[in-house]
Chain A
């Protein structure tokens, strides 16, 4: 506790950089993965290939990825952009499968009805398919959020400051309190992200919580399979 009181500003700074280093990849990963998942679900023959590609991306060891990226995208070794790009790739890798499952979960009868009552293709995609895929997308996004928050800490090993830096520094200086604060900070941040997502889901999709429908647990199961399949 004394260490924390003496270093509040430092912890706060690290928390903020951890926040944006994880928030940005979660957001980018979602925005990139949703159209890919939609496409994969639409083109059944390409679905397998696209999803396997996602699985393969996820097997790249994160530390190696952080180190190789600068030579691929031409950034400096200490550039936080490396962490953001790498984590976005992981987020996409996980999220694409969830997104494909999410669009698959939309009832074909409802889509048929939407077409028959005069929705144009784009209107149907944005006004019907996307919102109805929402509950499963949200479940996938929660997995991505937690996974990304924890992966950011690896960035500390290549010198990008975040709450993970408390691990490396605490280990070096044999400071258990500092490591503990790092753990608490990361877990707290993951829970915060999760809470924000759950609340956003309730606000954006009130229809999913009115009884009748339940959020399917399929994405969590598929995530487990996804990890099992590559591990």
Chain B
């Protein structure tokens, strides 16, 4: 379990990224921080592996304050997947993945074998293993990024807008892949996005943030949809524009689902 205890962060230039934030993230579930830019979601994520140290408060992993842990060791024990993959351009795909094993002290062969295995897990053809990242498509690079995050089999996986830079079709594919992986692997995932649809799709617990890390609402997607806490949430999730208020209409004998403005969004299953 990850726990934020009345945490805050003011950067050296005086910007207050997070004011006062407390939350528990249950183990083996996906928690999504969602909000517009400047809501402190990335800062909150990066506090878990001490890429950012809080100005006040504590972050605890399984009741241990991360501040008491060696930064480098801590980071090696946590998977990290970032936007545009963040792969090392001078290392082949296989080495990018295997390197994390090597940093943890695995032998060369052990590291490579494990890297091959995890590349397969994320659905990458082994023929790509000996290419350089620049020779891969954006979607493939992102899969390598996920493989790298998973290679050491960490309990916690931090994902910072990992699918933000790929086109919608590939993003959809990667999201489904992540859901499948999570069913198999049962990690504690902290996921950051500005896309509410992505948050509802992936999150067991969704945290909607206002400026300065203020929590607008926390809950399962269904809870939030059923009972938005305030106007900010209604507007953020698109309830106010009628995008999520759906009703059924009959067209040529088929029952289709239509939103408030009359736009067709789906077909009702019989």
A119 contacts B103, C-beta separation under 8 Å: yes
B88: which A residues are within 8 A, CB to CB?
A: 110, 113-114, 128, 132
> What per-residue 1/0 map shows which CB atoms of B39-77 lie under 8 Å from chain A?
000000010010100000000000000000000110110
Pairwise interchain contact A110-B86, C-beta atoms closer than 8 A: yes
B134 proximal to A (CB < 8 A) = yes
Is A205 on the interface with B (CB-CB < 8 A)?
A: yes
Q: Note all chain B residues with C-beta closer than 8 A to A115.
A: 51, 75
Q: Which residues of A contact B100 (CB under 8 A)?
A: 117-118
B210 at the binding interface (Cβ < 8 Å): no
Nearest A residue to B135 via CB reads A210
Q: Do most interface residues of chain A lie in helix, strand or loop, or is the interface mixed?
A: helix
Residue of B nearest to A134 (CB): B90
Interfacial chain A residues near B86, Cβ < 8 Å: 109-110, 112-113, 116-117
In the complex, what distance in Å separates the CA atom of A113 from the CA atom of B141? 14
Bound complex: CA A116 to CA B104 (Å)? 14
Alpha-carbon separation in the docked complex, A116 to B148 (Å): 12
Give which listed residue, B46, B80, B89, B91, contacts A213 with CB less than 8 A.
B89
Contact partner, B75, options A117, A131, A212, Cβ 8 Å:
A117
| Count of inter-chain pairs, beta carbons less than 8 A | 68
| Most chain B CB atoms below 10 A, which of A110, A114, A118, A123 | A118
- Most chain B CB within 10 A, of A115, A207, A211, is at A207
Contact with A along B125-136 (1 / 0, CB 8 A): 000000010110
Query: Does residue B258 face the partner (Cβ distance < 8 Å to A)?
Result: no
- 19 further A-B contacts with Cβ under 8 Å, apart from A117-B80, A213-B134, are A109-B82, A109-B84, A109-B86, A110-B86, A110-B89, A114-B88, A115-B51, A116-B46, A116-B51, A116-B80, A117-B103, A117-B148, A118-B76, A119-B72, A132-B89, A210-B135, A211-B134, A212-B132, A212-B134
6 contacts between A and B (CB under 8 A): A109-B84, A112-B86, A117-B76, A117-B148, A118-B72, A119-B72
- Enumerate chain A interface residues (CB-CB to B < 8 A): 107, 109-110, 112-120, 123, 128, 131-132, 134, 205, 207-208, 210-213
